[in-house]
Structure 1
């Protein structure tokens, strides 16, 4: 007897397809992410259960709130690595930073980057950084490849999609927050993310995971198959970092 269920696609309930999580706040006690080592290990363990075993942690460098340096970030990374060994947790973890592009951003040749001088940057959610294109150009001149974190979350672009195309044309790599497509950050953010996906403007994706609430929302949308259905076949380029950490 013919069955309508024979061709039903299996539900993919993991994040293995992401490869490397290139944006997270899992290092302990240095920004608005994990408050301590125990929480870092707990979150990393849970993310590994969802299929992610390689992380590039990107704590904020934001002078007004989180004035991190390479020293503070690397110390937190080493504490986390030691705790992972103690917990016998088989993951690979590295560190870069998420730079706030504001009046306090300082250009240098020693910024904390993802591999191959990829620099993750962000702006305020309320206003575009003045001279943002000039800042990006200056970074590119110094040999950096700019990754713009979560463009879908910048309210000032929700009615100005041409800016997304402009950044793409400038060679900026646009990075999606996975939870944006679930409505976690609101309807307008989800709509912007869907526009960027439809127009193939994203190049990278990340969890941007800070805390247990983020994890709970992520887990729900992974285990019900929604995230794979929405994103699993999109040509994200996270694998460019797979063997570099």
Structure 2
């Protein structure tokens, strides 16, 4: 019997794992499709602190077509307004601000301007769940050439990626890292995302993990998650990697 099987016969929960850092969330209120009010955002961070979260990167959507105000100056200003209240509510959590950048046609032209980056010149990117961005390869290539480190959010949720993971491996080969949504392993986004998340995790292809938190109800789901024992060691690896990312000073 393995160590995790002995310690957690029903499978570990989040509180049994080193989930100290959430690098993808929509907790900054009133800026996208995530939390609407400061009150709910503060409740969220207090509850996350109670399950062991100590670091959070807030990553509002950056997509001019849907959120034209969401640029570096606006998001930074909103973060400065909300951070004291979030800090007071959580007590223990350290906060940073970044963005989740939609890969849309022409995004490459924005890479030379100041961007909402993750630590260490990493940049969180996403696509439509229904179809692959036509310029995803070009965007990744340009980011890498400019000494950025692209991180693709929740690849398990993209229905256009086959289960053989060939295309996902191809993106990794081009210099893109992967971030998993924890709720994918609980079936929150459907069976397809659940199966694909398990496959990517078992192949050791994820680098980071986050909640992609949009609502208080999702925290109850996070609390109830019980992970497969065979996934525990790999989850621990990417959780520790996510904390290392948060602490990166490059």
TM-score, with normalisation over the residues of structure 1? 0.89
Task: Tell which structure's C-alpha radius of gyration is larger.
Answer: 1
How many Å separate the matches in 2 of 1:88 and 1:184? 25
Whole-Å Cα distance in 2 between the matches of residues 94 and 228 of structure 1? 31
Which position in structure 1 is the counterpart of 2:24? 23
Q: Does 1:64 pair with 2:68?
A: no
Q: Tell me how far apart the structure 2 counterparts of residues 131 and 115 of structure 1 sit (CA, whole Å).
A: 24
Matches within 5 A, 1:96-115: 96-105=98-107, 106-115=110-119
Q: Does the CA contact (< 8 Å) of 2:123 and 2:149 recur in 1?
A: yes
**Contact 2:123–2:150 (CA under 8 A) maintained in structure 1:** yes
| Cα offset, 1:63, TM superposition | 1.1
Shift of 1:20: 1.4
Structure 2 unaligned spans of 5+: none
Give the whole-Å Cα distance in 1 for the aligned partners of 2:171 and 2:19: 23
Task: Report which stretch shifted further, 198-207 or 98-107.
Answer: 98-107
| Alpha-carbon separation, structure 2, partners of 1:131 and 1:160 | 22
Task: Determine helix, strand or coil for the equivalent of 1:35.
Answer: coil
Superposed CA RMSD? 2.0
Match of 1:171?
A: 175
Question: How many residue pairs end up in the alignment?
Answer: 235
Residue 211 of structure 1: how far off its partner (Å):
0.5
Tell me the residue number matched to 2:142. 138
* 8 A contact 2:25–2:59 mirrored in 1: yes
- Equivalent residues of 1:16, 1:51 under 8 A apart: no
Deviations 1:137-179 (A, max 9, x none): 0011111000000000000003552111101212211110001
The yes-or-no answer on 1:205 pairing with 2:203 is no
For structure 1, which runs of at least 5 residues remain unmatched after alignment?
Answer: 1-6
The one of 126, 139, 155 aligned to 2:159: 155
For residues 108-150 of structure 1, the C-alpha deviation after alignment (integer angstroms, 9 at most, x for no partner) is 2411101111000000011111131111000111110000000
- How big is each residue's C-alpha offset from its partner over 1:31-57, in whole Å with a ceiling of 9 and x where there is no partner? 011112111110000011111021011
Instruction: Write 1 or 2 for the structure with the bigger share of helix.
Output: 2
Alignment of 1:50-89 (within 5 A): 50-67=51-68, 68-87=70-89, 89=91
Compare 166-175 and 24-33 and name the one that shifted more: 166-175
